[in-house]
A and B are shown apart, each in its own frame.
Chain A
Amino acid sequence: AQSVAQPEDQVNVAEGNPLTVKCTYSVSGNPYLFWYVQYPNRGLQFLLKYITGDNLVKGSYGFEAEFNKSQTSFHLKKPSALVSDSALYFCAVRDGRGGNNRLAFGKGNQVVVIP
């Protein structure tokens, strides 16, 4: 089965510093990878995805992610964090069992941006 792992529970970063949220994946076949963000009492907002092509994917709100096939990683990055980036971040992989596009999520990373 397809799966992702987010090894850190919480990431603390000072405002203005680079932000990295880590994700590793395990898939059979080509990986379809996604990042979502969740603010308190809200649903998930799509940030970006990797399907194929360039290893550096650019997404919403200044976020980007780097796909690394040899390290089976898909880390989310932002060059300069804002206090408003404080939220819960989920990495997900498309799990195409049965021909559907179900997503398998990691447990999430809480990001805290310190003013």
Chain B
Amino acid sequence: ETGVTQSPTHLIKTRGQQVTLRCSSQSGHNTVSWYQQALGQGPQFIFQYYREEENGRGNFPPRFSGLQFPNYSSELNVNALELDDSALYLCASSFPTSRTDTQYFGPGTRLTVL
């Protein structure tokens, strides 16, 4: 196990609702990245947080937002849910350096939007 935890494991929402997903990073890691993995696809980068600041964003609309807290845990918020938001949401923590920036993933949160 990586030491990265995510909650909840599963949740079901309806279109138009809002959702908050949570991630606790591995001890000593100051960077959290969020990815969306649709069924049958590879993970797609949503955004990254480094020391509580957003540090890069993928091709996702502004209704996807996030936070990082002083203990480096993180939240992913999605507003105005759409059916296509149904996916496995993965969080990964790392401690980026030029040579040892492996990202370690949590088990994911399975979101179903009805």
Binding site for B on A (CB under 8 A): 32, 34, 36, 41-46, 49, 51-52, 90, 92, 94-95, 97-108
Contact = CB atoms under 8 A, between A and B. Distances in A.
Contact of A46 (B6, B44, B55, B104): B104
Contacts of B35: 103
B26 to A, nearest CB: 11
7 contacts: A44-B90, A44-B92, A46-B104, A94-B101, A102-B56, A102-B58, A107-B40
Interface in B61-89: none
Nearest to A90: B42
Interface of B: 2, 4, 6, 31, 33, 35, 40-45, 48, 50, 55-56, 58, 90, 92, 94, 96, 99, 101-108, 110
A92 B33 CA distance: 14
B48 to A, nearest CB: 5
